[in-house]
Chain A
Amino acid sequence: MADISVEGTELDGAGEGKRTETGGPDYLASLKLLGRFLPGSRLAMGGAILLATAAVACELAPVVVVYKVVTAALSGTLGPAYLAGAAGLALLAVVVGYGLMGLAVGLSHVVAFDVLCRLRLALARHLARLPIGWFADRKSGDAKKLIIDEPESMELIFAHGIPEGVSALATWVAVSVWLFLVDWRMALATVAVTPVAFVLISTGMARGARRAADYQRAGARMNASVVEFLAGMAVVKIFNRTGESFAETARAVRAYAEVETAWAEDYLPLGGTFYALVLTNVVVILPVGAFLMAAGSLDLATLVLFVILGANYSQPLMKLFNQFHTLAHISMGSTRIAEALAAEPQADSGRTVALASHDVVFDEVSFGYGKEEVLHRVSFTAPAGSVTALVGPSGAGKSTVASLVARFWDPRSGRVTLGGVDLREIGLSQLMDMVAFVFQDSFLFSDTIAANIRFGNPKASDAEVEAAARAARAHDFIMAFPDGYATRLGDRGQLLSGGERQRIAIARAILKDAPVIVLDEATAFADPDNEAAIQEAIGELTAGRTLLVVAHRLHTIMSADQILVVDGGRIAEAGRHDDLVAKGSLYARLWRDYTEARDVVLKPAGVSGQIASEERPS
């Protein structure tokens, strides 16, 4: 699909633009997204929240107990029985509290896994209904990232965000209320440091953010440089230039370290202070308490309570702060998923239409990927049962024409028809039954060979599967495996050579028995020793069908009924091989280059003649 690789993703670029305009991540993106898949887990989530809140109550109980014991000790009423009761209560609270927290965490994970399962399923369903072009526009890893990696990172929100966030919030509210009820002056002393700390960290982060762009640039530069250092290693070694290549990468690494350091110098005075301040509420509580006691308006027991409770006052806020950060961290991924879910599925008429014939007709078809138009008013007819070949220079638009037949995209203007009916009016299901394509690189599933062939027709019998394999010249090598047709293919069929995989893909297409067949460089990447077998297999596949074939090896299409020469997104000429050669135009030139290329011989000692041929005008 060499011709389809385009850099423009304008169609989906709108979302990206919006994001940069508003600036900053949408912190709530993840919550909004996951909220859509929450129904069904509401009860479990409510349970997790309740359990986590109960756990917090249990966590605070020992504090109350210790406070009561202190009071008792000060008033001299502390006896062994009281102690035993208090200790028992505290122990119970600890055990129950952690038990509840364990349950809450467990339950919230269940919620998380359920929600993610629903999200992924919905996403998979949706992706499967997008135009295939949506995938061709993206890197191969993008869909995987969307469906596997991004949701994985969202697990944190439900699995930990719920129990920890809720318990942190509950603790903070409970402690604050309690402290203010006991003594509002001491309560103020307790909370005094906390806002200062959070103002500091926000300022610190804002200061650090000024370098965010530098930081990101330096990081991207380093990553790119490392990737290139490794990707180009073989070339670098052959040309003995490791020194230079290393020097550039080393510069990128040093630059990154410098930016990191500069960022830290900016951030540290405030950020570093924050981490000290959030731990140290007690330094305000004690002096204020002392002065209040000196004034006679505070007793010892109350002071003790504030010291015990106040010392960790900022901790729950820290936890909330961290949760907030997690949200920010994964918001980009959520936004991307939301965008994918919002992408328009391919329009499907859902109808089964009676087709008069299997002629494929392009009628003034224009098409482009981004702003740029790739095909300009292309018109031709591929009559049923004939062979139409598309040839031309790289980037001319041949593969684009082929992909429009399979409705990977829809034309911008004009129409593609099958049997006289616009492809958009034919239900996708019917269209897919009508058209089979074989590409350079065939996708096989990690399943048995038989299952992969049967993919072409689930109702096929074993005998039919074998017949298809024989026709595709695949039977012999399949039988050479100990398990024959039951052989399981590994990850993406790596057990097989490229040519063998191609023949399985052809067997699959043969079994499908579609009247229209599109071959896009189907033999191109196969090793030469497989080429003959693949060619025979293609011969079986295409017999008596409407065939569109994209080809560079011109001899293979010499006897095509019609050759379309594509150049710059237009059909430059059309006709049969002999006529086009006689015409002496673009095809004739391609043909001359093609035959001449076969005649240029690599020969260390006999090269002089070739150098002369190079000087020939072309």
Chain B
Amino acid sequence: MTAIDPLVPVGEAADADVHSDLASLLRVWRLAGPLRGKVARGVAFRFLQSICLGLAFGGVVWTVTGLAEGRTMDVGWAWQLTALMAASLCGQLLFGYLAARDSWLASFELAGDLRLSILDHLRRLPMGFHLSRHRGDTVTALTSDMQMLETFLSDALGRIAQAFALPIVAVLWFLSRDWAVGLAMLASMAAALPVFMWSSRRLARLGVVRQDLQAAAGARMIEFVQGIATIRAFNRLAKGEESFRAALEAFRDLSIRMVARLSVPMALFGATVMAGVPIVLVVSGLRHGAGAIDMATLIAALVLVFAVYSPLLGLSQVMELVRMADASLTRMDRILTARPLPVAARPAEPQGFALRFDAVDFSYRADRPVLSSVGFEVPERSMTAIVGPSGSGKSTILNLVARFWDVSGGSISIGGADIRTISEERLASLITVVFQDVYLFAGTIFDNIAFGRSGASRAEVEAAARAAQAHEFIAALPDGYETRVGEGGATLSGGERQRISIARAILKDAPIVLLDEATAAIDPTNELAIQKALARLVAEKTLVVVAHKLSTIRAADQILVLDGGRIVERGSHDQLLEGEGLYHRLWQTRSRAAGWRIK
């Protein structure tokens, strides 16, 4: 029952692949799977409901023809008509209820099932899939897109059936009486069909155009909102408002131009359908004059003509739903057609925990290589630091070890086994990643730490927290380990959250640690605690670190200097300093930064 404005663009239908309406119906049908029976039943009941309504109009025809043929109305006949109407009403109520029941329940069930299968698919997709798209898009596919599909199944399908049921029955009946009247009735529908298809495609196309333009204008408006603090700070309110007003007015003018182009097809469709009224009027009148049809058929045609055409008018709104559902389906398809990482038929078992990159190439998009023939070895329980300018591909190396993506060329192996041949579970058990952004789940601190190892005991969790310098502040909280974090939970500082995530990693106790060293400054006390926690985490591990701290870099057994996706220098700190290359320069600027003081 949501009001729909055909002039308002649908979600982000920017996918220019506008499907035909029929194709959308087929896509939904394919998705319906085991619920097809129920969906079809819902549609069939809706159809039957309309047929029952047709029965009432049959009663009208019966009355009018009888009276036109000279029969007089008597109480007996009136009772018969009443009985017929009662039957029609009961049928409509029954089938109307059954139709709503089947289609609604089927739509809820289908949306639930589909959500589950998309979620199940999502978790099998490589992390790269999730990182390479806006999280909001995926959430939309599971929430509002799915709601769209529910509306489509529960509402639109039934309305389509309803729109066609009465016209079909009426046309068939008139065809059986007289071909000319039947065809006359059909004529405007046949003419309306291409108009409908044309206008629906035009609406869809214009919708996409408007959406792009709207997005552009919207972006300028949003910029004003986001920039308000800056605009004010620089005393440039007048200029800011001026450009906001310009964006706003451009958007308005554009919208008005679009309306002019959009209202024509909508009005044209309605007019074409309703042009059937004069056509039927003339044809049935002339056929009656020519003696081809009797008075009864003439009057029946005149009485029914509105009942036949008015449901069809509702179709233009329904098609709006179809279009929206189609855009939603396209977004769902994008998830469902993404492929999980290939799984090895015979999983390999790594011998030891040495890590090796062998001529690894990688790119997110074919034309932009991120890593080119990167090769290095990290012996077991040694430390490798990766340094280089921003955008040189440092974090990508960590992401590839965690198999967020698969390499485009070359190979990565752990303990001699290509990571593509190691089972997903085994690989996950081998590595721990400490990200810059900490993610804590809604739940207690205990849950969040215990997440590191299934079935961890209270004592183990506490030991991990102690090792991560987190026990003290946790114990100081009113609810201790049972304190809830995340949305609506306790507010922890960035440093505290970081320590909880390290405790989680310590509990996991994986032999390989991948660390993306934080660049954000936090207060000294937290920083010291984190540093100690990390030192504890990496003890006795194989460590690869994207390093920012001078102390970290200097302590590494091996430093890889990355530039533009290639390793340009490698060696120990002392060796590299002698080289006077990129590392030497980086080291100097960093040392200078470390010694800088205000004034």
**Is B100 engaged at the interface, CB distance under 8 Å to the other chain?**
yes
Number of A-B contacts (CB under 8 A): 529
Determine if B590 and A591 form an interchain contact, defined as CB atoms under 8 angstroms apart: no
Determine if B63 and A286 form an interchain contact, defined as CB atoms under 8 angstroms apart: yes
Question: A253: which of B7, B119, B135 is its contact (CB, 8 Å)?
Answer: B119
Determine if B221 and A148 form an interchain contact, defined as CB atoms under 8 angstroms apart: yes
Question: B67: which of A300, A387, A596 is its contact (CB, 8 Å)?
Answer: A300
Q: A155-B8, A233-B123 are in contact. Are A73 and B382 (CB under 8 A)?
A: no
**Is B267 engaged at the interface, CB distance under 8 Å to the other chain?**
yes
Determine if A241 and B451 form an interchain contact, defined as CB atoms under 8 angstroms apart: yes
- The docked-state distance in angstroms from the alpha carbon of A76 to that of B592 is 108
Q: A83-B282, A325-B3 are in contact. Are A234 and B435 (CB under 8 A)?
A: yes
Q: Which residue of B lies closest to A596 (CB)?
A: B528
Contact residues in B for A240 (Cβ distance below 8 Å): 424-425, 428-429
**Is A402 engaged at the interface, CB distance under 8 Å to the other chain?**
no
Q: Which residue of A lies closest to B274 (CB)?
A: A94
Residues of chain A in range 491-543 having any CB-CB distance to chain B below 8 Å: 491-492, 497-499, 508, 512, 521, 523-533, 535, 538-539, 542
- Using A69-B302, A70-B299 as known contacts, list a sample of 15 further A-B pairs with CB atoms less than 8 Å apart, ordered by residue number in A: A83-B289, A98-B268, A121-B248, A230-B138, A238-B428, A240-B428, A268-B100, A272-B97, A286-B56, A294-B73, A387-B599, A394-B493, A602-B552, A604-B383, A614-B536
- The docked-state distance in angstroms from the alpha carbon of A177 to that of B469 is 82
Contact with A along B449-490 (1 / 0, CB 8 A): 001101000000000000001000000000000000011000
Question: B60: which of A127, A279, A307 is its contact (CB, 8 Å)?
Answer: A307
Q: Which residue of A lies closest to B138 (CB)?
A: A230
Interface size on B, residues (CB 8 A): 188
**Is A344 engaged at the interface, CB distance under 8 Å to the other chain?**
no
- The docked-state distance in angstroms from the alpha carbon of A512 to that of B59 is 85
Determine if B249 and A156 form an interchain contact, defined as CB atoms under 8 angstroms apart: no
Q: Which residue of B lies closest to A534 (CB)?
A: B593
**Is A159 engaged at the interface, CB distance under 8 Å to the other chain?**
yes
Question: B532: which of A406, A598, A613 is its contact (CB, 8 Å)?
Answer: A613
Residues of chain B in range 510-547 having any CB-CB distance to chain A below 8 Å: 515, 519-528, 530-532, 534-536, 538-543, 545
- The docked-state distance in angstroms from the alpha carbon of A347 to that of B548 is 45
Determine if B277 and A66 form an interchain contact, defined as CB atoms under 8 angstroms apart: yes
Q: Which residue of B lies closest to A543 (CB)?
A: B599
Question: A552: which of B78, B92, B521, B548 is its contact (CB, 8 Å)?
Answer: B521
**Is A206 engaged at the interface, CB distance under 8 Å to the other chain?**
no
Contact residues in B for A87 (Cβ distance below 8 Å): 278-279, 281-282, 285
- The docked-state distance in angstroms from the alpha carbon of A293 to that of B241 is 72
| Chain-A contact segment, one of B226-234, B324-332, B572-580 | B226-234
Residues of chain B in range 271-316 having any CB-CB distance to chain A below 8 Å: 271, 274-275, 277-279, 281-282, 285-286, 288-289, 295, 298-299, 302-303, 305-307, 310
| Chain-B contact segment, one of A23-31, A105-113, A350-358, A480-488 | A105-113
Determine if A559 and B390 form an interchain contact, defined as CB atoms under 8 angstroms apart: no
Contact residues in B for A521 (Cβ distance below 8 Å): 521
**Is B219 engaged at the interface, CB distance under 8 Å to the other chain?**
yes
Question: A603: which of B233, B249, B252, B383 is its contact (CB, 8 Å)?
Answer: B383
Q: A74-B68, A239-B451 are in contact. Are A312 and B306 (CB under 8 A)?
A: yes
- The docked-state distance in angstroms from the alpha carbon of A303 to that of B199 is 38
Q: A286-B85, A287-B81, A322-B1 are in contact. Are A101 and B270 (CB under 8 A)?
A: yes
| Interface SS majority for chain A | helix
- The docked-state distance in angstroms from the alpha carbon of A547 to that of B279 is 85
**Is A600 engaged at the interface, CB distance under 8 Å to the other chain?**
yes
**Is A611 engaged at the interface, CB distance under 8 Å to the other chain?**
yes
Contact with B along A87-124 (1 / 0, CB 8 A): 11011001101110111011001100110110011001
Q: Which residue of A lies closest to B545 (CB)?
A: A602
How far is the CB of A223 from the nearest CB of chain B, in Å? 6
Determine if A322 and B119 form an interchain contact, defined as CB atoms under 8 angstroms apart: no
Question: B596: which of A325, A532, A605 is its contact (CB, 8 Å)?
Answer: A532
Residues of chain A in range 427-443 having any CB-CB distance to chain B below 8 Å: 428-429, 432-433, 435-437, 442-443
**Is B357 engaged at the interface, CB distance under 8 Å to the other chain?**
no
Determine if B310 and A315 form an interchain contact, defined as CB atoms under 8 angstroms apart: yes
Please list 23 pairs of residues, one from A and one from B, whose beta carbons are closer than 8 Å in the complex, sorted by A's number: A83-B289, A94-B277, A113-B252, A144-B225, A148-B225, A152-B8, A155-B5, A230-B135, A238-B402, A239-B428, A241-B451, A249-B119, A257-B112, A272-B101, A280-B89, A283-B56, A304-B302, A311-B306, A387-B599, A442-B230, A458-B239, A528-B519, A590-B524
Determine if B93 and A273 form an interchain contact, defined as CB atoms under 8 angstroms apart: yes
- The docked-state distance in angstroms from the alpha carbon of A433 to that of B442 is 44
Q: Which residue of A lies closest to B245 (CB)?
A: A121
**Is A256 engaged at the interface, CB distance under 8 Å to the other chain?**
yes
**Is B352 engaged at the interface, CB distance under 8 Å to the other chain?**
no
Determine if A128 and B88 form an interchain contact, defined as CB atoms under 8 angstroms apart: no
**Is B116 engaged at the interface, CB distance under 8 Å to the other chain?**
yes
Determine if A598 and B551 form an interchain contact, defined as CB atoms under 8 angstroms apart: yes
**Is B16 engaged at the interface, CB distance under 8 Å to the other chain?**
no
Residues of chain A in range 285-337 having any CB-CB distance to chain B below 8 Å: 286-287, 289-291, 293-294, 300, 303-304, 307-308, 311-312, 315, 322-323, 325-326, 329
Determine if A253 and B115 form an interchain contact, defined as CB atoms under 8 angstroms apart: yes
Contact residues in A for B143 (Cβ distance below 8 Å): 222-223, 226
**Is B266 engaged at the interface, CB distance under 8 Å to the other chain?**
yes
